[in-house]
Amino acid sequence: PDNFGASGLPPSNPALLDHLAVSFADNGWSVKKLIRAIVLSRAYRLSSQFDEKDFEADPDDVLVWRMPKRRLEAEALRDTMMALSGRLDRAPPKGSPIEQGGEGNIAFRFRLLGDPSMTDMHRTVYLPIVRDQVPDVLTLFDFPDPSLLIGERPTTTIPAQSLSLMNNPFVIRQAEGLAEKLL
């Protein structure tokens, strides 16, 4: 997705790419307007439902006739569990734990305080990420290395993911919260 050079694949719809580029320039290089145009498009709102006729015409979905099925990313998975349990705090936290940690070796202090992803009920996007102290629940579900820029996350399926969803204390607490809501 981030290789636009000669070794990358050519665009499947060059006319659409040109239209988006011209629209981006005409709208004052507003990324917000470009994203809005994309998310309001028909292609972005497609379902992942299979259609035999479309499949015969385009089996690799190059022309985007359906949304490919994909797993939730680590952040969405954690947020969904907290939302279902009724414990998700959507408001941004006051201050930053990194700032409160002060100067020096923050990673060492975070190890002493414990994993914030286990106790902090704010959205995952607000979790402090210290480079060498990424929470296990995120790392296990393909959270990217915070010191690198990547265009696409890998998707792995390993037994540790299933075991974590069955045995992790955080997951068990969220399941208990959901059970309390339902009873």
The alpha-helical segments, DSSP class H, found in 27-154 are 31-39, 52-57, 74-85, 97-101, 106-113, 116-119, 136-140
What pLDDT does residue 96 have? Answer: 72
Question: Shortest CA distance to 116 belongs to which of 128, 106, 125?
Answer: 128
pLDDT digits (tens, 9 = 90+) for 82-101: 999 999 999 998 877 666 66
Half-sphere exposure of 147 (CA within 13 A, CB side): 5
Confidence at residue 11, expressed as pLDDT on a 0 to 100 scale: 82
CB 78 within 8 A of CB 138: yes
- How far from the centroid of its chain's Cα atoms is residue 170's Cα? 19
Give CA–CA dist 128/76, Å, rounded.
16
- What's CA 43's distance to the chain center, in Å? 20
Residues (pLDDT < 50) of the chain are none
Return the pLDDT at 132.
74
**For position 77, what pLDDT does the model report?**
93
H helices within 27-73, ranges in order? Answer: 31-39, 52-57
pLDDT on residue 166: 94
